[in-house]
Amino acid sequence: MRIRISGPRNLFIVTGLVALVWLVFGQTIKFPFINFDDPEYVYEVPEINSGLTLHNIQWAFTHWPSTNWFPLKNISHMLEFQFFGFNPGAFHFTNVFLHALATLLLFLLLQRMTGSSWRSAFVAAIFAIHPLRAESVVWIEERKDVLSGVFFMLTLAGYLYYTRKPSFGRYLTMSILFAAGLLSKPMLVTTPFILLLLDYWPLQRNQKSEIRSQKSEVQTWLRLVAEKIPLFVLSVTVAILTSLGIAPAHSAADQLPFLARIGNAFVSYFVYIWQMIWPANLGVFYPYPQNGWLIWQVTAAAAILVAITIVIFASRRSYPYLLVGWLWYLSMLLPVVGIIQVNLQAHADRYTYLPQIGLYLMIAWGVAGLLAPWHYRRQAIAFATIIVIAALTMTARVQASYWRDSETLWTHTIAVTKDNYFAHASLADLLMRRGRVNEAIEHSEEALRFRPGDADAQNNLGLALLQTGDVKRAVAHLQKALEIDPGHMNAEVNLAWILATSPDNSTRDGARAVQLAEDVARRAGHPNAIVLRTLAAAYAETGRFVDAIETAQDAITVAKATGNDGLAADLERNIAAYRSNQPIRSGP
């Protein structure tokens, strides 16, 4: 499988694409981790932050059911911790490097498939620097996007290599690359369908004699579909494994009705198209509309989608690239468009990473075809392309800059979205960790004003009130969080800590504290120092001092492994108390 950079023109394009990527995203090597998923799924996970070991590799493939079952993505982080430790700049560098590699592969693939360098370069450039890419490239936890993007491009390259001279070895190579992509992010499950689209255009395998011979068009397509059955089997297998972790990830309060999800899916297809055209007011989280989408909005979106599809299908023989680009977009978004609820947001910028390539194909080849009769088409297209790329580059640099720290990110998201309870709750969590308790209370209350049934905001407000010494109100909000979501692990731990360590005899309940803390320790998926510290305190409150000492020692091991020396020192003091058969008591 060879993809060569030949000729000065291609070398110029490749150099320009790399320069664009680093101009936009190179700034991120100075950015820190953020407080959204980075702690839970990257640097606070002992199996990841302890580096690359056989045990950790085994864990990466076997810790399901889990919504974060991305084995190769987690292994990539293990490698970074192995060589660079807790340096976020190295993680950001890897993300940018992988995105640049995916961009180059996209250009070279399209150029080889279509023979058009400039149209391929346009598609790759927009893919490289569109502001919607910021979330996928800058967010360390979204390593799965850029890593799966590289394997997706390599899968297409392997497929192109296979179609040139079909053989078992070439098919196996392509299948292995596809499997690696799925293990980076299961969103690639629709890739076999993308290969069928490429069979139609630009490869035109349905028209070639070695495939078609004397058979009918239907028989030809049946053969092309049958050729991809092993790939579809891989997709179904990974989809099933991934789905095992989706259902337990949301409480009943978070689940949207099926019809509401269908409606949101139709509308989201157009939201993403509008964001592509006008990438303004981009945030890290977009809440569902409080009252849902209106019936006419959903109906209009569905009708327009169907109408566009019918028109494009009817013109497929004259404009095959329109059909391929449109179905590429629709199909690649399908796993994450919200019919199957994966997360709590209405839509997400990161979901456009690979799907919008289909729209870029439609624009690049469609505009060139439309202007073909015009004598000055090249000059006009070149001028427009420069303006578009320059505008997107500047906008993307600004969008990426909002990720320079968590407070800036959440403040910006609150400013550009409406009634964003999640952003307020996340900012409250950050402010609490920074000791800005009063501000944390304000943002928690604002989150609850928009969504009283938000367990995260209830938990954050309870924790903030605890810091002010208002224990009774703190307990009330933590219990409310657990009424909303009985499996809310943060609320369980925080309430367990109060029940185990409160100086107020009427508040303490050691047995309940043990129950809550043990439940979290069992479900967490990996050891957590805070959870273990809380469980140790609960054991001590019930007189189980031997268990308390052992658990606290385990917590020290985890705390030191995650660089939390202050917590380790605090645990040493706790152990000293347990050895004297004394439970611990904590104030604000």
pLDDT of residue 322: 97
Same domain, 399 and 512: no
What is the reported pLDDT for 418?
Answer: 92
Calculate the average pLDDT of the chain: 92
The pLDDT of residue 574 is 95
- Asked if residue 449 has pLDDT above 70, the reply is yes
Q: pLDDT band at 11, cuts 50/70/90? A: very high
Report if residue 139 sits inside a domain.
yes
462 occurs within a structural domain: no
* 435, part of any domain: no
What's the mean pLDDT in 246-266? 73
378 and 520, same domain (yes or no):
no
515 and 396 in one domain? no
Q: Which domain-ending residue is among 380, 403, 426?
A: 403
Among the residues of 229-294, which ranges form H helices? Answer: 229-243, 258-277
Tokens of 283: 């945030």
What is the token pair recorded at 495?
């309430």
Residue 484 lies in a domain: no
155 band by pLDDT with thresholds 50, 70 and 90: very high
Domain count, the chain: 2
Which one-letter amino acid corresponds to residue 386?
I
Q: Is residue 427 part of a domain?
A: no
Work out the pLDDT band at 352, boundaries 50, 70, 90.
Answer: very high
Q: pLDDT digits over 383-418, tens only?
A: 999 999 999 999 999 999 999 999 999 999 999 999
% of residues, the chain, pLDDT over 70: 95
Model confidence at 209: pLDDT above 60: no
- Mean pLDDT of the region 31-37: 95
Residue 487 within any structural domain of the chain: no
For residue 569, give the CATH number of its domain.
1.25.40
Q: Which distant-in-sequence residues (6+ apart) come within 8 Å of 201 by Cβ?
A: 320, 321, 323, 324
Res. 63: pLDDT tops 90:
no
Please tell me the pTM assigned to this model. 0.91
Please give the pLDDT value at position 1: 55
Q: Output 312 or 345, whichever has higher pLDDT.
A: 312
Residue 270's Cβ-count burial label (10 Å; 0-12, 13-18, 19+) is middle
Structural contact between residues 460 and 444, judged by C-beta atoms closer than 8 angstroms: yes
Q: For residue 245, what pLDDT band results from cuts at 50, 70 and 90?
A: low
How many whole angstroms separate alpha carbon 112 and alpha carbon 5? 10
Spatial neighbors of 76 by CB under 8 A, at least 6 apart, are 94, 143, 147
- Output the pLDDT for position 565: 86
Higher pLDDT, 344 or 299: 299
Residues 394 and 512 in one domain: no
In-domain check, residue 134: yes
The whole-number average pLDDT for the span 124-153 is 98
Residues 6 or more apart in contact with residue 298 via CB below 8 angstroms:
262, 263, 266, 267
- Alpha-carbon dihedral of residues 22, 24, 29, 34, nearest 10 degrees? -150
Q: Give the domain-ending residue among 355, 371, 403.
A: 403
111 confidence band (pLDDT: 50, 70, 90):
very high
- Is residue 491 assigned to a domain? no
Which pLDDT score is estimated for 357? 98
- Domain ends where: 361, 376, 403? 403
Q: Within its chain, how far is the Cα of 358 from the centroid?
A: 20
What pLDDT shows up at residue 198? 98
Distances (CA, A) of 148 to 22, 178, 247, 347: 20, 9, 23, 20
CB atoms within 10 A of CB 373: 7
For the cut 60, the answer to whether the pLDDT of residue 249 exceeds it is: no
How many percent of the chain have pLDDT more than 90? 80
482-502: average pLDDT = 93
- Domain encompassing residue 540: 508-588
Instruction: State the Cα–Cα distance between residues 50 and 54, nearest whole angstrom.
Output: 11
Burial of 52 (0-12, 13-18, 19+ CB in 10 A): middle
In degrees, rounded to 5, the angle at the alpha carbon of residue 475 between the alpha carbons of residues 474 and 476 is 90
- Distance in angstroms (rounded) separating the CA atoms of residues 103 and 149: 9
Asked whether the predicted pLDDT for residue 215 surpasses 90, the reply is no
Tell me the C-alpha distance between 434 and 41, whole Å. 21
Cα 388 to Cα 112: distance, rounded to the nearest angstrom:
25
Query: Same domain for 45 and 186?
Result: yes
Please tell me whether residues 373 and 520 are part of one structural domain: no
Nearest to 141 by CA among 182, 82, 80: 80
Confidence of residue 375 (pLDDT cuts 50, 70, 90): confident
